[in-house]
Chains A and B, each alone.
Chain A
């Protein structure tokens, strides 16, 4: 039997940490809680959890600062708890390295689904990108050498930029990617404010890969934030 995944919950609301501790423990996770970012960072260093769930608004060291500090020392998956209307803080957290977010108020199932997806991504075997020649994810098969892509067994033709964008999406399947992250990765640091570039390319890509571009199932829009790619493998 494998050890249960360890989850650190960082929130200044004692009632919410009580609920999350019980809810997550009932699913077999090992849970610890901390009341602010500072205590959270100390608990992380002591305990080395497999995943961190953190609130954004907290006294002393807030969730953003905690993301920054954690990313400086670790690649542990981070899920932030945020409120509707905190889109900017949410984007900042994702840009600082958070993997996902859940908007308050949330049902325990929604949080558990995000926890499972983040843990699955983190535990996926890492491949050496330099020697990797193919990518397989859900409905997608990519040959990185010949730059050929098949979706649901059907070959599609993409422009070089569309190809790069789709490969980036597939490599980060299930993760929320902010506009800024995508622009910086595909176009470089000078284009991080050019959201319209992204809209055009995502629009074209959807027409080529989605069964119905009007209601996409692979490239999902996260309003005000960016996109989340779902390769069709159940993530």
Chain B
């Protein structure tokens, strides 16, 4: 590095000497046609060139060498370093002062420009380094968050698989002890035996539902939800969901409020019926026996149908109304909502949201009437096939049990 700087400086002196010599030779050759002023300007330009290219020291050397050449070749008496006329002395001194000053100024300007350029490059380098560091840090943070999320999801999934498995294993081993020859007698009456088997049956169903939910959720997340859209009536969809939910809503009043002259909708009936079933199931699970579950359907503008399921339970706090749609989130467990009611799988609302959004609809949660309970509302576009937009008539209000 240092060697190259030195080389460059010596090159500056050599170029200074050669360029001044060459210029002098050129001016001397055309000597008759140039006066002293032209010579001095040409030599000054050469000094400026040296200064801007090689800096102050070679420029100073070029100034002195140019002054000597100017004196020797262009000021009378020619071929000597003596000067006859006083005004030529003045011209020579003026040339030297101008050359040295211009050379130094020009070299300083060059140095400053170089320093500014180096500063700019340094700032750019630091900025790039900082940006890279930030990118690395945010990448690492994103990875960490992603790992944390994976671990939380794994915990949730394993908990939901393990819990029913524990009940099944404990029941099975209790039943097995009855038939195994043991020193300690086992007293299991018929009622207990049936209860153990019921637990096994219910918990097997729970495992099955959980696994089906996982598969459905995975499909939605992968964008592989295959919607089979057909024209259908909203009341038929609700009727399918309600007949499936009949055992769940045995102890609730179910009210249907369906607006008159609703158009048909072009949706996947099975999927939308699943959404209604999930919302009714949640409403039954999280509201007291004997209370009312209200299902509403109305038009919302020209292109949307809005369906709602409302309960008279304890409601969902405002700050959890977005989170309840996250997979595996359970307000009763993760949201510190005080209740002794059973918790779900944490997948129902996530799947419902996936199905509604796959139909280009939206789902949201509000408080129920008079600010009590929960009302889940979702919209569905009516559809795009004009031919089938004939109005279908629905019962205004049907009350079940």
Contacts and interface: CB of A to CB of B under 8 A. Distances in A.
A83 B159 contact: yes
A199 to B, nearest CB: 29
Contacts of B164: 15
Residue among A14, A26, A27, A81 with most chain B CB within 10 A? A26
A13 B167 contact: yes
Interface stretch (A100-108, A138-146, A167-175): A100-108
A105 B186 contact: no
A108 B162 CA distance: 15
Nearest to A83: B162
Interface in A81-122: 81, 83, 85, 104-109, 111
Given A15-B202, A27-B184, A59 B169 contact: no
A85 B162 CA distance: 12
A105 B338 CA distance: 27
Nearest to B196: A22
Contacts of B168: 105
A13 B163 contact: yes
Nearest to A107: B173
A223 B265 CA distance: 59
Residue among B158, B177, B184, B202 with most chain A CB within 10 A? B177
Contacts of A19: 167, 170-171, 174, 196, 199
B188 to A, nearest CB: 5
A106 B166 CA distance: 6
Contacts of B171: 19, 23
Residue among A18, A19, A26, A60 with most chain B CB within 10 A? A19
A184 interface: no
Interface in A186-204: none
A104 B166 CA distance: 6
A213 interface: no
B23 to A, nearest CB: 84
Contacts of B163: 13, 16, 104
A212 to B, nearest CB: 29
A59 B332 contact: yes
B237 to A, nearest CB: 32
Nearest to B198: A18
Interface string B357-398: 000000000000000000000000000000000000000000
Contacts of A22: 174, 188, 192, 195-196
Contacts of A211: none
Interface in B149-179: 155, 158-159, 162-171, 173-174, 177
A63 B364 CA distance: 35
Interface string A154-166: 0000000000000
A25 B332 CA distance: 30
A57 interface: yes
Interface string A17-58: 011101101111000000110010000000000000000010
B254 to A, nearest CB: 24
Interface string B334-362: 00101110100000000000000000000
Nearest to B334: A59
For chain B, what secondary structure do more than half of its interface residues adopt (helix, strand, loop), or is it mixed?
Answer: helix
B333 interface: yes
B285 to A, nearest CB: 13
Nearest to A34: B340
A34 to B, nearest CB: 10
Interface in B116-163: 155, 158-159, 162-163
Nearest to A18: B199
Nearest to B186: A26
A177 B166 CA distance: 25
A107 B172 CA distance: 8
Contacts of A20: 170
A27 B185 CA distance: 8
A197 B333 CA distance: 41
B203 interface: yes
B312 to A, nearest CB: 22
A106 B340 contact: no
A220 B202 CA distance: 38
B187 interface: yes
Given A15-B203, A26-B186, A83-B159, A108 B166 contact: no
Interface in B304-351: 332-333, 336, 338-340, 342
A16 B166 CA distance: 7
A105 B166 contact: yes
A28 B187 contact: yes
Interface string A55-71: 00101100000000000
Contacts of B196: 19, 22
Nearest to B335: A59
A109 B192 contact: no
A86 to B, nearest CB: 9
A113 to B, nearest CB: 11
Contacts of B342: 14
Interface string B185-210: 01110001001100100110000000
Contacts of A105: 162, 165-166, 168-170
B162 A23 contact: no
A107 B203 contact: no
Contacts of B338: 59-60
6 contacts: A22-B192, A22-B195, A23-B173, A59-B332, A59-B338, A109-B177
Interface of A: 12-16, 18-20, 22-23, 25-28, 35-36, 39, 57, 59-60, 81, 83, 85, 104-109, 111
The 10 closest A-B pairs by CB, nearest first: A107-B173, A105-B166, A23-B174, A105-B169, A108-B173, A15-B167, A104-B166, A19-B170, A105-B165, A22-B192
